[in-house]
Amino acid sequence: MKTAQITPEERERAFASAKKPEVIDKQKLKVRYHVEDYNVADRPRQFLEAFSAILKHSNYRMALDHFIRMSAKCSRCATTCQVYQATGDPKDIPCFRSELLLSVYRRHFTLGGMLKGRLLGNGYLTDEKIEEMAESFWNCTACRRCTMECPSGIDHGLVTHLGRYILSELGIAPRALVVSTREQLEGATGNTSAIPVPALIDTLEFLEEDIKEELSVEVKFPMDVENAEYVFFPAVSDFLMEAETLMGIVAVFTVTGDSWTTGTGYFDGINYGLFYSDRMLERVVKKVDAETRRLKGKKILIGECGHASRSAKYYIPVYCGGDKALPVINIMEYTHRVWKEGRLKLDPNAIMEPVAYHDPCNIARQKWIIEKPRELLKAFCPNYVEMTPNRDQNVCCGGGGGTVSIDEVRAYRTGVGGKLKADQIRASGCKYLVAPCANCKKQLRELVEDQGIDVEVVGLHDLIYKAIIWDEKFKVSSSPAEEIPQKQEDK
């Protein structure tokens, strides 16, 4: 599937920048995302120092050496990239994006490159190149679909990831991500949405009451329970924006009776470090591990969020103990398992409208969780439809790689990054679009709004909430008898 190139008017809209000229001047950066003030002096030297420090303490050198030897410049990746399809700008060809950084590596960190550079006296990293990288690496959604199409096996997503990390050491990183991460790691609330604990507890109690009113079922969000099987970390923004997802999750746990808890010490699954800095990635992952251990929890349970799941699943073992690290599971795995075990009953005709499932890149690309949510959905949505391509070949929502949290690039995300996805959604004819990811949900809602598509974007558990068949034993007996039939009439 391919999307059409944007028109000049669409381009103007998508690439419009709200940045003041004096800020651009001062920061020597034309990028559309906001950046906090940083030291602009001698950026090439700063960049190379950061690059060298990172190479020294990482495994990137192995990959970069391999990539520069392999790169065949076949341009097969171009046709896969949803950004390139939309812009038609050759600078958006994934291989070109990678070459920006690979060429710096070749010139400054390989013997041949250094010799050649010295002899010919050229190729030294320039300010312009740094600006180009700052623009290019954040135009990419880090979806890693191009990687699947590269015969040479160059992981363009990895190169973008590294490029952003190096830039962040200079202070060039989207302000939205940096500010949130600062609050998460150093702020009073300790989470990216700056939710204080009392507000969190209020919210959860409110949801408990809501469910009781709606279903006459008593549910409980357990807080700070020690020795629980699962310690729960959703994208913290879910507490503000995805009440229905949380209601579905608490409903599932109510039915199964398994022990789970949220810790008041730390309750945020979001990890923007994955998008801009390995150092931050490490710090955030360690907070998740520490809170789970504080509560003597057995497993880390991540809510409906792609990048939160990937950063915990892949980086808890990396940063918190390797073989001995705590197991990490995603909520969809849990719900699928209890449903398979027959502990969760779903009404086969709960949702009659056409439903499609969107694979979050961070969950599907490495073939981690693909069939489970589909099996669940098919169990209660008789009109389940697929968007193609899907599964590990899925098309990104267009807000991946942290870009969804950068509000000032919304027009770009919904006009360029998400354009192919919009076509896909339209073609599927779905009414409900299920996206088990806080990032994807926000992006897809903005996408369908900006592109004028009549679809409701929901989480998987939002729908499960509607489909659960409750055993009588869960119904609250104390509620007035006449209230229940009344409720059903309302339905």
Partner 1 sequence: MDALLDFARGPLFRFSFAILVLGLLRILILDIWGIIEALRKTDDKKIPWKLVSIRTLEWFVPVRKVFSNRPIYSSLSILFHVGLLLVPIFLYAHISLWKGTVGFGWPALPKLWADILTLLAIGTALALFTGRIISKTSSFLSRKQDYLWPLILVIPFLTGFICANAGVSPVLYRICMLTHILSAEIIFVLIPFTKIAHCIIMPLSQLVATIAWKFPPETDEAVCTTLNKKGAPV
Site residues, ligand SF4 (CB under 6 A): 80-81, 83, 94, 97, 140-146, 156-157, 396
Would you say 145 or 441 has its CB closer to ligand SF4?
145
The region of 56-64, 117-125, 231-239, 475-483 touching partner 1 under the rule CB under 8 A is 56-64
Would you say 143 or 280 has its CB closer to ligand SF4?
143
Residue 45 CB, nearest approach to partner 1 (Å): 12
In the list 8, 20, 57, 342, the residue contacting partner 1 (rule: CB under 8 A) is 57
**Residue 210 is a binding residue for partner 1 (CB under 8 A):** no
Query: Residue 143 touches which of partner 1, ligand SF4, none (CB < 5 to 8 A by kind)?
Result: ligand SF4
Angle value at C-alpha 122, between 121 and 127, nearest 5 degrees: 135
Between CA 278 and CA 165 the distance in angstroms is 7
Query: Residue 56 touches which of ligand SF4, partner 1, none (CB < 5 to 8 A by kind)?
Result: partner 1
What b/e string do you get for 143-152 counting C-beta neighbours within 10 Å, with b at 16 or more? bbbbbebbee
Residue 166 CB, nearest approach to partner 1 (Å): 11
Query: Mask of contacts with partner 1, 168-197, x by CB under 8 A?
Result: -x--------x--xx--xx-----------
Per the CB < 8 A criterion, the answer to whether 438 and 302 are in contact is no
**In 350-397, at which residue ranges do the beta strands (DSSP E only) sit?**
355-357, 384-385
Between CA 435 and CA 441 the distance in angstroms is 6
In the list 80, 87, 309, 362, the residue contacting partner 1 (rule: CB under 8 A) is 80
**Residue 216 is a binding residue for partner 1 (CB under 8 A):** no
Radius of gyration of the chain (CA): 24
**Residue 79 is a binding residue for partner 1 (CB under 8 A):** yes
- DSSP label of 28: T
In the list 113, 265, 317, 354, the residue contacting partner 1 (rule: CB under 8 A) is 317
Residues 245-274 that bind partner 1 (CB under 8 A): none
Angle value at C-alpha 49, between 44 and 55, nearest 5 degrees: 125
Q: CB neighbours (10 Å) of residue 464? A: 29
For tokens 């929901």, the residue is: 458
Per the CB < 8 A criterion, the answer to whether 355 and 434 are in contact is yes
Helix axes 127-139 and 43-56, enclosed angle (nearest 10): 60
Would you say 74 or 476 has its CB closer to partner 1?
74
Would you say 186 or 472 has its CB closer to partner 1?
186
Residue 81 CB, nearest approach to partner 1 (Å): 10
Helix axes 43-56 and 94-109, enclosed angle (nearest 10): 90
Would you say 81 or 463 has its CB closer to partner 1?
81
Residues 352-371 that bind partner 1 (CB under 8 A): 366-367
**Residue 50 is a binding residue for partner 1 (CB under 8 A):** yes
Would you say 80 or 439 has its CB closer to partner 1?
80
In the list 321, 327, 348, 429, the residue contacting partner 1 (rule: CB under 8 A) is 321
Q: Is the sign of the CA dihedral 409, 161, 358, 241 positive or negative?
A: negative
**Residue 349 is a binding residue for partner 1 (CB under 8 A):** no
Would you say 278 or 423 has its CB closer to partner 1?
278
Between CA 170 and CA 35 the distance in angstroms is 11
Residues 112-151 that bind partner 1 (CB under 8 A): 147-149, 151
End-to-end CA distance of the chain: 40
Full 3-state SS string of 172-192: CCCHHHHHHHHHHHHCCCCCC
Q: Please list, in sequence order, all residues whose beta carbon lies within 8 angstroms of the beta carbon of residue 382, skipping any fewer than 6 positions away.
A: 348, 349, 352
**Residue 388 is a binding residue for partner 1 (CB under 8 A):** no
The region of 22-30, 152-160, 219-227, 407-415 touching partner 1 under the rule CB under 8 A is 152-160
Q: What is the DSSP string of 131-164?
A: HHHHHHHHHS----HHHHT-TT---HHHHHHHHH
Per the CB < 8 A criterion, the answer to whether 397 and 358 are in contact is yes
Query: Residue 141 touches which of ligand SF4, partner 1, none (CB < 5 to 8 A by kind)?
Result: ligand SF4
Between CA 317 and CA 325 the distance in angstroms is 5
Residue 149 CB, nearest approach to ligand SF4 (Å): 8
Would you say 19 or 61 has its CB closer to partner 1?
61
Query: Residue 178 touches which of ligand SF4, partner 1, none (CB < 5 to 8 A by kind)?
Result: partner 1
**Residue 329 is a binding residue for partner 1 (CB under 8 A):** no
Q: Please list, in sequence order, all residues whose beta carbon lies within 8 angstroms of the beta carbon of residue 227, skipping any fewer than 6 positions away.
A: 259, 295, 296, 297, 298
Query: Mask of contacts with partner 1, 423-452, x by CB under 8 A?
Result: ------------------------------
**Residue 152 is a binding residue for partner 1 (CB under 8 A):** yes
- Footprint on this chain of partner 1 (rule: CB under 8 A): 49-50, 53-54, 56-63, 65-66, 69-76, 78-80, 90, 93, 95-96, 99, 147-149, 151-155, 158, 169, 178, 181-182, 185-186, 278-280, 282-283, 314-315, 317-319, 321-323, 325, 366-367
